[in-house]
Structure 1
Amino acid sequence: MSGIQYTPPPSLLDYFISDKFINLVMGPVGSTKTTAMILKIAHEAARVAPCRDGIRRSRAIWIRQSREQLRDTSIPDFLRWYPDGVAGTFEKTNYKYTLKFDDVECEVLFRGLDDPGDVRRLLSLQATFGIADEFRELNPEVFMALQGRLGRYPSKADNGVGCVDDNGVQIDKFWGASNPPDYDTWWEEYLQNPPANAAVFFQPSGVSPEADWLQYLKDGYYENLMEGKPQNWIDVYVHGRFGASLSGKPVFPAFNRHIHVAKHTLIPNRASTNPLIIGHDFGLTPACTISQIDPMGRLVTYAELTSDGMGELRFLREKLKPLLATSRFAGMPVLIVGDPAGQQRAQTDEKSVFDIIKSEGFRVVAASTNSISGRISAVDSWLTRSVDGKPAHIVDPSCTTLIKGFGGGYRYKIRTNGEMDDKPEKNSYSHLLDGHQYACLQANGNVLFGAKKTPAQAIQKVRHVYI
C-alpha cells in the first residue's frame, strides 16, 4: 500500500472526499469512476477509529448484479490496485479480500445479487461501508435495505466508541459509481432529487474540454467509440447523460446539465439596466421562471416558482411577490411575459389575467407568439449558442424542476402505435417550461427599458451541441 499514490481528477475529487452518508457518481465510460470507488476504500478505512488492540478494523460490502460480473470485472479491477498477497489476501471461494496496510485491516466482501442466498446473507451482515459497482443495476429495495446494515462494525465492544472516526464522528457510508440510468426510472428520480443525506456527482462529457481523465485513455478514445452508435448510446456512454425515456423523447436534447447548470448560486446583476424577466404560465397551476440578460448578453435564470390548485391573484401575492421582496431581488425592475391569450377578458367579471397582474403593480407584456414551434425554437436558440466561449443560457442549481424538465421530463409523448406526438406532453413540468419559453422569446427580442441589444458578433453557434 505504501507504493500507491493516487490523486483523483477534479471531476471526482468531491466524490472521493465527501462525508455524506450516501455518495454516488455518474459519468461516461472510461472516466476512472471505478478507480476512485476502489481507492476510496483505503481512504475511508484509514479513518476508522482503532480497536482496543490499535488496529483500525472495518468491513465493506461490494455488490454487483451477479457473481459473474464480480468475477469478470469488479474483482479484477480491485486486484489491479490491491494485488493478492501484496496489499492483502483474497479468499477466492468466499469472495473475500482482507486489505491490510499500516494499522488498517478492512474486510471487503464481494456479493452478487443473482444468488438469493447472497441477498439474505447481505441483509444480515454487520458492516461499515457499502459499495455499489454500476448502481443503476441495483434493485432500490436492496439499496435501501443495505443502508440499515452499515455503521454496525466495529461495535463499541470492539473499540469502546463504535463506528466512528478519530474525532468521534460517525463514519459509516455508502458509495457507488455508474453509467447513467434511463429517464423515468427510480434511479433517475433519486439522482435528480437526492435526499439530504446523499451527495450526487455528475461528470462532464468525454468529449468536452472539462473531461479531466483523458490522459489515461488512448488518443481519440471517445471519437472512435461514437462511430456507428445510435445517439442514445452516445448520450449515455460518452456524454454521461440519462438514457432515453420509455415514455417519450426530450423536447430539448441540446440541454447539458454540466454545461447549462451553474455550479453555485447565481447572483442577479443590480448594476445592469436589464430587468428581471418573469416567464409566466397562467391557469390553475401558475408557474414562472425569473431570469435576466447579463452584461455579456447571456440569459441567466435565477429562480423558479410552481404551484398546484392556485389562482393567479393568490400566486402573485403568496408566491411571486414574497420572492421578489427577498434581498436577492428587492428593488430590481421586473417585466412579466406571458401567453398572449392572457389578454382575453373573462365572461364573469370582464377582467383578463393581464388586468390582474397589472392591478398588483407589475408591468406585463404578451409574448411575441404562442406558436409551440416558435417557443421551442426560442429556447433552443439559447441552449445552442455560446457567448465568449461560455454557454449563452445558464441556470441556477436551485431550479430543480426546470433542470429536470430540460433533461427529459418535458417531452414528446410516444403513442401506443409507436408514433410520437407533435406537441409536448402536458405533465408536471410543462407549466414551468411553457412559462420559460415566454422568457426566452422575450430575451430573443432583447429586453425593454432601454437595455442594450446583444451584439450579433458576441454570439456564435456551437458547432457541436453534445460537448
Structure 2
Amino acid sequence: MGKTELESGKFDIFNFSPPGPVGARYIQSTAPINLIMGPWGSGKTVATVFKIAYHAASLFPVCRDGAVHVRCAAIRDTYREMAKTALSSWHGFFPKNGPYTRQPVAQNYSGGQDRPVKHILEWKTIRKWPDGPRLTPIILEMEFGAIGEQNLDSFFKGYEISMGWMNECDLLHEDVPGRFYGRTGRFPPRSEIMEWEGDRLGWETDEEAGTSVIKLPRLIMGDYNPPDESNWTYKRHIEEPENWTGYSFFQQPSGLSPQAENRRGKTRADYEAEEKAFGGPTNSEARRNVHGEYAAKKQGTVVYDRFSLHKHRSDSFIEPVRELPFYLGLDAGGTPACGIGQFMPNGQFRGLREIVTTPDTVTGPSRFSEQIMEVLLADFAGMRCGGAWGDPSAWYGADKIRGELAFMETVSLALQIPIIPTESNDLKSRIEAVDWYFGSDIDAVTPRSLWDPRMKHTIRGFVSQYHLTKHASTGKTDSAEIEKNQYSHIQDAWQYLLYGYRGRAAVKRDAAQMGRPANVVPMRSVTARADFDVFKT
C-alpha cells in the first residue's frame, strides 16, 4: 500500500508538512473521535490546527451560495490555558491580521482576554463540481472557548458546529467527547447544501421527518500529553478499546526514538537534555513528556519502571500455545490471585490470564479454586501444567492434628495440580524475578515478556499501581514496602510464578549480571487432569 498524500509530504495547504507518519494519519483521519498523544514538542497541536484546515477544505460540502461553510469549536479547561496553547498555536499560522482572515478584520475577529474568541478565515481551493473542478471559497469559523466550572449540558447547549477540537483533552471531563460530538453535524444547515453533494457524502433518513437527507460529515479531535493510567484516555485507549469503537488513537514515538516526529521543531539533543533534567529515563515525568508513554501518579516509586506499554503489552489477545505447558503463580490471603502464563522456546514469557478476587469480600480456597478451574477449562483444557508455585506462608496455620488443610493444600487438591512453595518469600528476590523480563530484549524485535491486554489489573500494576509506600519512596525506611491495594495481589502471584520457575540461584545470578540474558531454565512437566470438574467434588 503506497503512502498517502500527507505521509509523502506532498500535502502543501499553507505550505504545511506533517510532523511525521503518525501525525499525517491523524490529520487525514475522518473517524468520529480522533485523539493524538505524544511527547512534548512532537507537533500534536500544530497537526490539529492543520487537520481543521485540511478537512474544511476537502471534506465538508459546497453550499448553495457556491462556498464551503464550516464551523469548528476549540475548547479547553480554562481561558488562560487556551490562550497559552491552542490559541497561541492557531495565531502562529493564522494571525488576527494575517492574509487568511476574512475582511474586514473588525467584523471577523472578536474576543480575547479571558473570554471567547471568534476568528473567521477565508481562502480558495479547487473543488469538484458536476461540471468539473472549480476554484471554491472556503469560509471557516473558529470559536475558542473554555468550560471552566460550567455544567457540561449548559456549556454545549448552544453549539451548532461542523467539527470540534479538544485541546489537552485529558484535562477535560470524560463525558466531554460524547457531548461535544453530539453537537456536530448541525452546520451548515442541510437546506443550504448543494443537492449533488449527496452523491459524494451519501444519504440518511431524517427520523423526525421520515425524509432522505444528505449525510453531513461529523468529527472531533483532541491532542494530549500522556497522563497517568487513572485518566479516561488510558481506559479507552489501552484497557477497553473494544467498547469505544468510535475512537481512533494516534500515539507518536518517543522523542528519543529514530522514528521521533517533528524533528524540524525539536531535536534529539533537546529531548536528551529534558530526560536528564527529569532525573533519567525511568522518571515518570520523563516517560510521559520525553518518551510519550502513560506513566505513574506521584504517589510512590513504581516498582517496574522498565515496563513499557508499547513493547510489553500485546496489541492483540494472546492465546495459549497448546503444544507447550502452562504455569501458575498463586497468592493466598483474603483476596487471593492467580497468574497463568507460558514460556516460549526462544525464552520469552507470555502472561496469558489473571484471576483476581474482589477486595470487598473474603474469598476462601474453595471458591478461589473454582475461579481458577473455570479459566483452565475454558482456555487450557487438555494442556499440561508445567509447574505451579505459591506463597510459602500459605502452607502454615492449619491444624494438622485435626486434619485441616492449609490454603494452598486445599487449592492444590481441588485443581489436582501440585503447588510448590517458592524457595523463600524474600520480596526483593521476587521483584527481581519479574523485573528481569522487562530488561534486555531477546533480539531486536522480541521483548523478553509479552502480556495479554485483557489483564487489566496486571498491566495497571506494572504501569503505576504496584508501587512502594510513601515512606519507602522517600527513603524513610530501609526495607522495600509495597502499598497494598487491589493490584498488589496479582503482582505477588506473578512473582511466585517467575521466581519459582527460575529458581533462587538464577534470579540472584541475573541480578548480579544487571539483567543480561541467560539460558532459559528447562521446562518441567506435570500432567493435570483436564476433565476434572471442581463443581462436582
What corresponds to 2:293 in structure 1? Answer: 241
Q: Secondary structure of the equivalent of 2:481?
A: strand
The amino acid that maps onto 2:201 is D
Aligned match for 1:74, one of 69, 86, 91: 86
Q: Distance in 1 between matches of 2:73 and 2:40?
A: 23
8 Å contact from structure 2 (residues 38, 253) kept in 1 = yes
Q: Rg: which structure is higher?
A: 2
Is 2-11 or 58-67 further displaced after alignment?
2-11
Aligned match for 1:92, one of 80, 84, 109: 109
What corresponds to 2:431 in structure 1? Answer: 376
Q: Distance in 2 between matches of 1:404 and 1:359?
A: 30
Query: How far off is 1:339 after superposition?
Result: 1.4
The amino acid that maps onto 2:434 is V
Query: How far off is 1:376 after superposition?
Result: 1.2
What corresponds to 1:255 in structure 2? Answer: 307
Aligned match for 1:293, one of 308, 322, 343: 343
What corresponds to 2:316 in structure 1? Answer: 264
Aligned match for 1:167, one of 188, 193, 202: 202
Measured on the aligned residues, the alpha-carbon RMSD in Å equals: 4.0
What corresponds to 1:403 in structure 2? Answer: 459
Q: Distance in 1 between matches of 2:272 and 2:410?
A: 55
Aligned match for 1:351, one of 396, 405, 420: 405
Seen in structure 2, the aligned counterparts of structure 1 residues 263 and 2 have a Cα distance that, compared at 3 Å, is: same
Query: How far off is 1:337 after superposition?
Result: 2.4
Q: Distance in 2 between matches of 1:213 and 1:405?
A: 32
**CA displacement 1:235-273 (0-9 Å, x = unmatched):** 3211223455243332222212122212233343345x4
Query: How far off is 1:406 after superposition?
Result: 0.6
Task: Tell me if 1:138 matches 2:172.
Answer: yes
Q: Distance in 1 between matches of 2:59 and 2:476?
A: 53
Q: Distance in 2 between matches of 1:17 and 1:290?
A: 41
Q: Distance in 2 between matches of 1:435 and 1:160?
A: 64
Q: Distance in 2 between matches of 1:404 and 1:59?
A: 39
8 Å contact from structure 1 (residues 23, 198) kept in 2 = yes
Alignment of 1:93-112 (within 5 A): 93-94=110-111, 95=117, 96-98=119-121, 100=123, 101-103=125-127, 105-112=139-146
Query: How far off is 1:188 after superposition?
Result: 5.6
Q: Distance in 2 between matches of 1:174 and 1:114?
A: 20
Query: How far off is 1:407 after superposition?
Result: 0.6
Q: Distance in 1 between matches of 2:472 and 2:308?
A: 29
**CA displacement 1:29-87 (0-9 Å, x = unmatched):** 12222233223224544334555567554322112344444444423433555677655
Q: Secondary structure of the equivalent of 1:225?
A: helix
Unaligned runs of at least 5 residues, structure 2: 1-11, 112-116, 128-137, 204-214, 505-509, 518-537
8 Å contact from structure 1 (residues 204, 258) kept in 2 = no
Q: Secondary structure of the equivalent of 2:52?
A: helix
Seen in structure 2, the aligned counterparts of structure 1 residues 330 and 245 have a Cα distance that, compared at 3 Å, is: same
Q: Distance in 1 between matches of 2:27 and 2:418?
A: 49
Query: How far off is 1:119 after superposition?
Result: 10
What corresponds to 2:206 in structure 1? Answer: none
Q: Distance in 1 between matches of 2:199 and 2:429?
A: 57
Q: Secondary structure of the equivalent of 1:432?
A: helix
Query: How far off is 1:127 after superposition?
Result: 1.8
Task: Tell me if 1:207 matches 2:261.
Answer: no
Task: Tell me if 1:38 matches 2:49.
Answer: yes
Q: Distance in 2 between matches of 1:236 and 1:259?
A: 15
What corresponds to 1:432 in structure 2? Answer: 490
**CA displacement 1:395-433 (0-9 Å, x = unmatched):** 222222211111111122326997767321111111211
What corresponds to 1:278 in structure 2? Answer: 328
Aligned match for 2:384, one of 333, 351, 374: 333
Seen in structure 2, the aligned counterparts of structure 1 residues 170 and 397 have a Cα distance that, compared at 3 Å, is: farther
Q: Secondary structure of the equivalent of 2:463?
A: helix
Q: Distance in 2 between matches of 1:443 and 1:182?
A: 32
**CA displacement 1:76-119 (0-9 Å, x = unmatched):** 43355567765564743243233654455442212244697999
Unaligned runs of at least 5 residues, structure 1: 447-453, 462-467
What corresponds to 2:222 in structure 1? Answer: 176
Q: Secondary structure of the equivalent of 1:255?
A: coil
8 Å contact from structure 2 (residues 168, 223) kept in 1 = yes
8 Å contact from structure 2 (residues 239, 454) kept in 1 = no
Query: How far off is 1:281 after superposition?
Result: 2.1
Task: Tell me if 1:306 matches 2:356.
Answer: yes
- Counting matched residue pairs gives 448
Q: Distance in 2 between matches of 1:400 and 1:362?
A: 26
Q: Distance in 2 between matches of 1:340 and 1:286?
A: 14
8 Å contact from structure 2 (residues 388, 418) kept in 1 = yes
The amino acid that maps onto 1:312 is P
Q: Distance in 2 between matches of 1:117 and 1:320?
A: 46
8 Å contact from structure 2 (residues 256, 290) kept in 1 = yes
Q: Distance in 1 between matches of 2:364 and 2:198?
A: 52
The amino acid that maps onto 1:98 is L
Seen in structure 2, the aligned counterparts of structure 1 residues 330 and 146 have a Cα distance that, compared at 3 Å, is: same
Is 280-289 or 158-167 further displaced after alignment?
158-167
8 Å contact from structure 1 (residues 163, 171) kept in 2 = no
Q: Secondary structure of the equivalent of 1:131?
A: strand
Q: Distance in 1 between matches of 2:434 and 2:396?
A: 25
Q: Secondary structure of the equivalent of 2:50?
A: helix
Alignment of 1:406-425 (within 5 A): 406-414=462-470, 422-425=480-483
Q: Distance in 2 between matches of 1:87 and 1:183?
A: 41
8 Å contact from structure 1 (residues 132, 177) kept in 2 = yes
Task: Tell me if 1:460 matches 2:477.
Answer: no
The amino acid that maps onto 1:256 is S
Seen in structure 2, the aligned counterparts of structure 1 residues 72 and 246 have a Cα distance that, compared at 3 Å, is: closer
Query: How far off is 1:173 after superposition?
Result: 3.1
Q: Distance in 2 between matches of 1:13 and 1:364?
A: 52
Is 19-28 or 190-199 further displaced after alignment?
190-199
8 Å contact from structure 1 (residues 281, 432) kept in 2 = yes
Seen in structure 2, the aligned counterparts of structure 1 residues 117 and 139 have a Cα distance that, compared at 3 Å, is: closer
**CA displacement 1:142-162 (0-9 Å, x = unmatched):** 566534433433444444999
Seen in structure 2, the aligned counterparts of structure 1 residues 367 and 117 have a Cα distance that, compared at 3 Å, is: closer
